[in-house]
Amino acid sequence: MAVMLMKVSCAVFLLVVYMGLLTPEVEAVTCGQVVGSVAPCLGYLRNGGAPPQRCCNGVRGLRNAARTTGDRKTICNCLKSASSSYRGVSGNYAASLPGKCGVNLPYKISPSTDCNRIQ
């Protein structure tokens, strides 16, 4: 009886470990991902016009990746930082980008946006 209990316990333990290995980890959004997503938008952000489809796909991908408040704050802070580090980026074009791509963001892309207030 003790041997049977030991075998069942080992089987349950291995099953729990195996299931833990199959469970995907949730990763937070990184600034590298944010910059990579909006890199195809640089031409639009500098010159206006119509943003390319790759740009809009990146903006849409960021919106979809922003599952938590922390993700949304990270994306906001990374966009603010990136917009000030690239020369020639127009604040007006940056603010209008989500709308041009048909994407609703819960905040304005602007250096004046307080990312800490984002929920």
Residue with tokens 């790759």: 54
Radius of gyration of the chain, Cα coordinates, nearest whole angstrom? 22
Q: Could you give the CA distance from residue 29 to residue 13 in angstroms, rounded to a whole number?
A: 33
pLDDT in tens, 70-100: 999 999 999 888 877 888 999 899 999 999 9
Structure token digits, residue 66: 């922003």
Residue with tokens 């195809």: 40
Predicted structure pTM score: 0.72
pLDDT in tens, 8-57: 343 334 333 344 444 344 568 899 999 999 999 999 999 999 999 999 99
How many of the other CB atoms lie within 10 Å of CB of 62? 23
Contact predicate 82/35, CB 8 Å: yes
